[in-house]
Chain A
Amino acid sequence: EDKVVQSPLSLVVHEGDTVTLNCSYEVTNFRSLLWYKQEKKAPTFLFMLTSSGIEKKSGRLSSILDKKELFSILNITATQTGDSAIYLCAVIPDNAGNMLTFGGGTRLMVKP
């Protein structure tokens, strides 16, 4: 059975801190890994990672995938209160069409 585990479960930091969120996975025939940010309602897409070792970056957020060790990290530098959200990691196995298997999420709270 495909499995995605995110850690930590929740995290409280202060503005300006740097955080690292972890996502490990066990899937047969991995294809891609996606990160989403969920604030009040709908998750919004952040990154899709398919190749190992290539960093994706968007502003203060960056993510990298390690296909050998089966994990990905999402880094947020100089955190702001607006970064407070649940961060979701999802994987797509190669034989699953476009179905995503989600992890349990990491709840990040950034305090002023």
Chain B
Amino acid sequence: SQTIHQWPATLVQPVGSPLSLECTVEGTSNPNLYWYRQAAGRGLQLLFYSVGIGQISSEVPQNLSASRPQDRQFILSSKKLLLSDSGFYLCAWGRGRSYEQYFGPGTRLTVT
């Protein structure tokens, strides 16, 4: 069966510090991978998606970036965090033409 992991679960970082959030998927190969951000109690905003190693598409301009160094690894980064980067970050994976996406447990980021 497939599982998706994210870490860390929670993170408190000062403004201007770097960020690295990691997501890995087990039990499947060549998944589509997604990063979402969710403001408190609200819907999800798609940040990045990837259909393969090294292939990243960005949906919104921001100071965040994403990388996919391995087939089942997706990393969300920032060189300098802003207060507005606070939120709940969710990684998701999907298969090929299937529309369902399966979400990881999320990382709650607080920028102080």
What chain A residues lie within 8 Å of B49 (beta carbons)? Answer: 97-99
DSSP class of A's interface residues: helix, strand, loop or mixed?
A: strand
CA separation between A97 and B32, bound complex, in Å? 10
- Which parts of A79-110 form the interface with B (CB within 8 Å)? 86, 88, 90, 92, 97-105, 107
What chain A residues lie within 8 Å of B104 (beta carbons)? Answer: 42
What is B's interface to A at a CB cutoff of 8 Å? 32, 34, 36, 41-46, 49, 51, 59, 90, 94, 97-106
A34 x B103 contact (CB < 8 A): no
Number of chain A residues whose Cβ lies closer than 8 Å to a Cβ of chain B: 25
Given A103-B43, A104-B42, A43-B103 contact (CB < 8 Å): yes
CA separation between A103 and B60, bound complex, in Å? 16
A42's partner among B34, B42, B43, B90 (CB-CB below 8 A) is: B90
Asked whether any CB of chain B lies closer than 8 Å to the CB of A13, the reply is no
Q: A4-B43, A102-B44 known; 13 other A-B pairs, CB under 8 Å? A: A42-B90, A43-B103, A45-B101, A45-B102, A48-B100, A88-B44, A98-B94, A98-B99, A98-B101, A99-B46, A102-B45, A104-B43, A105-B43
